[in-house]
Amino acid sequence: AILLAFRKRFCEEVGGRIIGMKSDPITARDLRIWVKQNLFFADKQDVEEIALPKLRKSTVAITMSPEIEVQYRGITDGIEKVLSGLVAKYRDRDLTATDPALETARFKLRKQFQMLTELTLMPDLLVTGARNPKLDECVRIIDEKIESSARIILFTDVPRMASHTGLILSSRFPGKIHAVGLADTIDLWQNGKKVQSYGEKAYTAPDGQTFGIGSWKTYVLKYIVSNNPEVVSLTLTSTYAVGQNLQDFSTVIHLDRDSWNSETMTQRTARAWRTGQGKPVDEYTLDAVYSNPRAAKDA
């Protein structure tokens, strides 16, 4: 509720995505006051007393299959038309009035952006016979890392993709366990099936430490996931981007870019790249691209 109120008060949005902060002087002044009263930021490399291991970043271009590219281009053409019609309305709009046409356009854009995300993340669920190049790349990375006992965290903002990742990875690595963290459960997948699920309740650890309902995720991640060497990968959604210590994992894969929020991307990686991490951390960002980007630019 607090986040929604903040977005409504200070943020400009298009299609459900934040594109910037409101520019009118009163709102800008209120935002500056809010930041000074509530936020402090320092680069962790400036304040950490113990030197962190090396962070090795890679961006991997994942080529769309032809059938997915056709659908993706069609949706982006539709978004371009909607945005063209919104430019004048946003430039000259009456801030005190509600424009039904504008609200309809916003809803349409939200759905179109969502479809673009799903096409790049889950093409195999949307188009019969399509492969999933991002998950194929994840399998390749895990297969490379598993020999050195490295463990992998994957991040996505789409809960359906998180569960689909657990299903696919557990199918491709028989016998191994792949955990999936959703907002209300943490599930364990093995051999293509969900074999166990942990939810919101109080837990008592083997050492006697108690965890209330508010810290159930911390308990499950520490005692059920991190302490189990059979867990090869852990796929997490946006609710896990902050607040968890996962130094037992030394590879982070970003399946998507978290609505273009670079700071949240940093926080995702910081679940593994933090004090107590004894290994270099490899970070991969998987970006879907056209098979011929130049043709897309010239079209």
pLDDT in tens, 42-89: 555 555 555 788 999 999 999 999 999 999 999 998 888 877 777 766
Helix axes 159-172, 133-145, angle to 10 degrees: 50
**Is pLDDT at 96 greater than 80 in this prediction?**
no
The residue that leads in pLDDT, 279 or 104, is: 279
The 3-state DSSP class for residue 40 equals coil
Confidence of residue 108 (pLDDT cuts 50, 70, 90): confident
pLDDT at position 261 is 66
Coarse DSSP helix, strand, coil percentages of the chain, rounded to the nearest 5 percent: 50, 20, 30
Confidence of residue 116 (pLDDT cuts 50, 70, 90): very high
Which pTM was predicted?
Answer: 0.79
d(Cα 228, Cα 221) in Å, to the nearest integer? 10
Q: Taking a C-beta distance cutoff of 8 angstroms, is the pair 272, 281 a contact?
A: yes
Section 128-149 average pLDDT = 93
pLDDT at position 13 is 82
pLDDT at position 139 is 97
d(Cα 230, Cα 176) in Å, to the nearest integer? 6
Which of 35, 1, 3, 36 lies closest to 18 in space, CA to CA? Answer: 3
User: In one letter, which amino acid is 241?
Assistant: A
Section 191-195 average pLDDT = 97
Contacts of 75 (CB under 8 A, 6+ apart): 112, 115, 116, 119
Section 153-174 average pLDDT = 96
pLDDT at position 46 is 54
Rg (Cα) of the chain, in Å, rounded? 21
Q: Taking a C-beta distance cutoff of 8 angstroms, is the pair 115, 75 a contact?
A: yes
State the average pLDDT for the chain: 86
The residue that leads in pLDDT, 99 or 132, is: 132
d(Cα 286, Cα 132) in Å, to the nearest integer? 12
